[in-house]
Amino acid sequence: MKATTKTTRDAKEPFYYVSDYLHIVPMPLGPADAQSMIEDFLLPKWRAE
């Protein structure tokens, strides 16, 4: 995103405008503002598969 918009983001905004109808929606931050992955939000039984 930085290469496209020429700005940096801190992942605390609910979404970021890129152009026309394109917006970036960041993953929610974890405990102590740690980065998260989409897999972090899956049920444990699905993650084990």
Whether residue 45 is predicted with pLDDT greater than 80 in this model: the reply is yes
∠ Cα 19 34 47 (to 5°): 90
Looking at residue 4, what is its pLDDT?
65
Whether residue 47 is predicted with pLDDT greater than 70 in this model: the reply is yes
Do 38 and 44 meet the contact criterion of CB atoms below 8 Å apart? Answer: no
Whether residue 48 is predicted with pLDDT greater than 70 in this model: the reply is yes
Looking at residue 37, what is its pLDDT?
84
Q: What is the mean pLDDT of residues 28-38?
A: 83
Do 13 and 26 meet the contact criterion of CB atoms below 8 Å apart? Answer: yes
**Three-state SS at 1:** coil
Report how far residue 28's alpha carbon sits from residue 13's, in angstroms, rounded to the nearest whole number: 10
Q: Where are the domains of the chain?
A: 2-47
Do 28 and 34 meet the contact criterion of CB atoms below 8 Å apart? Answer: no
